[in-house]
Amino acid sequence: MNEGTRILGVPRLPGPPRPPLSEHARAEAQRLMARYPEPRSALLPMLYLVQADHGFVSREGVREIAQMLGLTPAEVTAVATFYTMYKREPMGRWLVSVCTQPPCALRGANQIRDAIQQECGIGNGGTTEDGMISIEEVECLCICDGAPVVGINYENYENLTPESAVELIRALRAGETPPKPARGDVPAPHDETHRELAGLNQKDREEAGA
């Protein structure tokens, strides 16, 4: 069978090979599984955990959590390829989500998207060579009164212009801490963000690493 295409009839996850999950991630996985009466119910948060550890939902991560949850790799892959929040290529430290739906588009979102892509030298779905920025175009970020809106690791920045958006991207690439948005928290880097999305708070992460 060709290495690139299918596992048990389900499309393979692309991307470069990764090592096994870290010991820390495995300990966090056990904490997640313990919250549910059936281990398989922890599948969605554990996919976030793989993204935190590997930078995307890797084939190796799929195999490991399938074994832990008593599922087949095909069952795990089917879920990972259904939901858009699970990424199947390595992601940057900061995921930049540009809304281009009508409320944002009418206030300049397309120009913001173009300015960000030009600044980074990549298109939609791409990641910069320095591994700092990934760009995606999204349907809606749900604060239309603040249009145009750009998300940074799922925290939203409102009323941007092409110039202010590019300033934000330059600060991220320079390693600066993002400013606090008008609503929400300061964005956390990729691994911290996806551990939070998995439902692991700071205490969980510290105890898993102890």
- pLDDT tens for residues 166-180? 999 999 999 999 999
pLDDT value for 206? 62
pTM score? 0.85
Q: Give the mean model confidence (pLDDT) for residues 100-125.
A: 97
Would residue 138 be called left, alpha or beta, if left means φ above 0 and alpha means ψ between -120 and 50 degrees? Answer: beta
Tokens standing for residue 190 = 């990729």
Question: pLDDT per residue over 145-155, tens digit each?
Answer: 999 999 999 99
Please, what CATH class does the domain formed by 94-188 belong to? alpha beta
Is 90 exceeded by the pLDDT of residue 191? yes
pLDDT band at 61 (very low <50, low <70, confident <90, very high): very high
20 — pLDDT class (breaks 50, 70, 90): confident
Q: Where are the domains of the chain?
A: 6-87+193-209, 94-188
CATH 1.10.10.1590 applies to domain 6-87+193-209:
yes
Return the ∠ at Cα 115 (arms to 178 and 167), rounded to 5°. 30
